[in-house]
Structure 1
Amino acid sequence: MGFRLRSVENTNFSSPQEMYKDNKKKTKKIKGPLDYQSKMIDFYMGEALNKKDVAFELPTGSGKTLVGLLIGEFRRRKNKEKVVYVCPNNQLVHQVVEKANNVYGIKVHGFTGKKDNYDPTSEAAYMTAEAIAVTNYSSIFNTSSFFSDADILIFDDAHSSESYIASNWSLEISRHKNSNLYFSIVNLLKDHLE
């Protein structure tokens, strides 16, 4: 019986850009990062590397995905952290997975649908910090998330997460289905409502 040995990843780099140059040598498809993307990464490395909550704002179409994936890949490889890149919907999950694996040369696995149906090989790669997980907001903001022990969460279009987060702490009572309860609560709160 033979054993499959894993190749050891290079961790001898000091920045995401330096790490990415090594990827560029391996494939001809990779371009970038562009100057402004490098400036964002430099800012992160200099000012935010050890901070817990960090937010970047980049215009649509400016390459946020590459910036986020490079930071995530740097942390995954350098610190062996479990990294999750979170997208607003499944379509974007699939788009990021395709681009990361086939254009950027960054190994990621997509996670959509029920967690019981996640691919065990992909689960293992994420759990052992061998690849970045890419999933959607619904998979993060639920009561039993597979990613509850993630070291790093990178949110693409974080402003899109509002409804997913708010729904966990919101109570909805239909005036038509539960009119007695609805009007009882309205009477309790009427002095505090406009």
Structure 2
Amino acid sequence: MSMPEDGPGKDGERAMAKVNFKRLRQGASVPANTITDPRDLFNALPEKVSGLDYLRGPQDQVLAAWHDRRDERDLVIKMNTGGGKTLVGLLIARSWLNEGIRPVAYLVPDDFLTAQVTTEAGRVGIATTNDPRSPEYQQGRAVLVGTFAKLFNGLSVFGVGGSVSKPPSHSLGAVIIDDAHACIAQADHVFRLRVDDDSEAYSDLLTLFAGDLKAQSPNGRDCCRNR
């Protein structure tokens, strides 16, 4: 699941949420670690700071729509800037853990946002860690919060598929990618190799991939060869 950034609402428009008192009563009587509906989970969290009494309209609507489609893969959520997407992502992550889908990672583009997500999790009482070796994370008691680059790189702390020296240490049950556009740009940079066309390495790589380049685009292959 990815969570791209979007602009502010049109003309400052705000969505209003109705308080569902029946849902509030249900949330108070059921242990939070057994609830899978993220809206009920929010109401049941026992350690929320004062003032976080209900979800905002867009948050409630997005979580309801996600819950109806939670069995689907690779869902994309779009929310306006300032719409509370961090809390939405954390509730979805905790909901997965309660369902038995584990471990779960919440990935962001940089360390500043890592701290922001961790702070927000503390405000609602959702346990997090920044250590992928943590028993709390691996056993599904906490959400891993870290940078996108920590997972997607050639020396990933999670291990690398096909690597002999650094095999995968464990599988992820689910991943939330916050600000997907920025993270995709990071992935493109990390896995891009730049080689000067007058170097020996360029010639060797062109020879190695000549067949694939020709299959993809004969003209493109010839262009690379004649540079």
Is the counterpart of residue 89 in structure 1 residue 110 in structure 2?
A: yes
Give, in angstroms, the shift of residue 180 of structure 1. 8.2
Give, as a single letter, the amino acid of the residue that structure 2 aligns with 1:140: L
Give, as a single letter, the amino acid of the residue that structure 2 aligns with 1:59: N
Aligned to 1:45: 67
Cα 1:76/1:180, change in 2 over 3 Å:
closer
Q: Which of 139, 155, 158 is 2:177 aligned to?
A: 155
Cα 1:31/1:109, change in 2 over 3 Å:
farther
Give, in angstroms, the shift of residue 50 of structure 1. 0.6
Aligned to 1:73: 94
Q: Is the CA contact 1:84–1:133 (under 8 Å) kept in the aligned structure 2?
A: yes
Name which of structure 1's ranges 79-88 and 36-45 shifts more when overlaid on structure 2. Answer: 79-88
Give, in angstroms, the shift of residue 31 of structure 1. 3.9
Aligned to 2:15: none
Q: Is the CA contact 1:82–1:152 (under 8 Å) kept in the aligned structure 2?
A: yes
Q: Is the CA contact 1:30–1:105 (under 8 Å) kept in the aligned structure 2?
A: no
Cα 1:168/1:190, change in 2 over 3 Å:
same
Q: Is the CA contact 1:24–1:30 (under 8 Å) kept in the aligned structure 2?
A: no
Cα 1:26/1:60, change in 2 over 3 Å:
closer
Give, as a single letter, the amino acid of the residue that structure 2 aligns with 1:19: L
Give, in angstroms, the shift of residue 25 of structure 1. 7.0
Aligned to 2:26: none
State the alpha-carbon separation in 2 of the partners of residues 192 and 31 from structure 1: 64
Cα 1:170/1:71, change in 2 over 3 Å:
same
SS at match of 1:135: strand
Aligned to 1:190: 223
Larger Rg: 2
Cα 1:20/1:172, change in 2 over 3 Å:
same
Aligned to 1:3: none
Cα 1:38/1:24, change in 2 over 3 Å:
farther
Percent identity over the alignment?
22
Give, in angstroms, the shift of residue 80 of structure 1. 4.8
Give, in angstroms, the shift of residue 91 of structure 1. 0.9
Q: Is the CA contact 2:153–2:191 (under 8 Å) kept in the aligned structure 1?
A: no
Give the RMSD, CA atoms, in angstroms.
3.0
Aligned length: 172
Aligned to 1:106: 126
Give, in angstroms, the shift of residue 72 of structure 1. 0.6
Unaligned runs of 5+ in 1: 1-8, 112-117
State the alpha-carbon separation in 2 of the partners of residues 180 and 145 from structure 1: 26
SS at match of 2:130: strand
State the alpha-carbon separation in 1 of the partners of residues 201 and 44 from structure 2: 66
State the alpha-carbon separation in 1 of the partners of residues 225 and 51 from structure 2: 59
Cα 1:138/1:180, change in 2 over 3 Å:
closer
Aligned to 2:157: 146
Cα 1:171/1:64, change in 2 over 3 Å:
same
The CA deviation string for residues 105-151 of structure 1, in whole angstroms up to 9 with x for no partner, is 2111135xxxxxx7x6xx11101100000000111102343345111
Which TM-score applies when normalising by structure 2? 0.65
Which TM-score applies when normalising by structure 1? 0.75
Is the counterpart of residue 58 in structure 1 residue 79 in structure 2?
A: yes
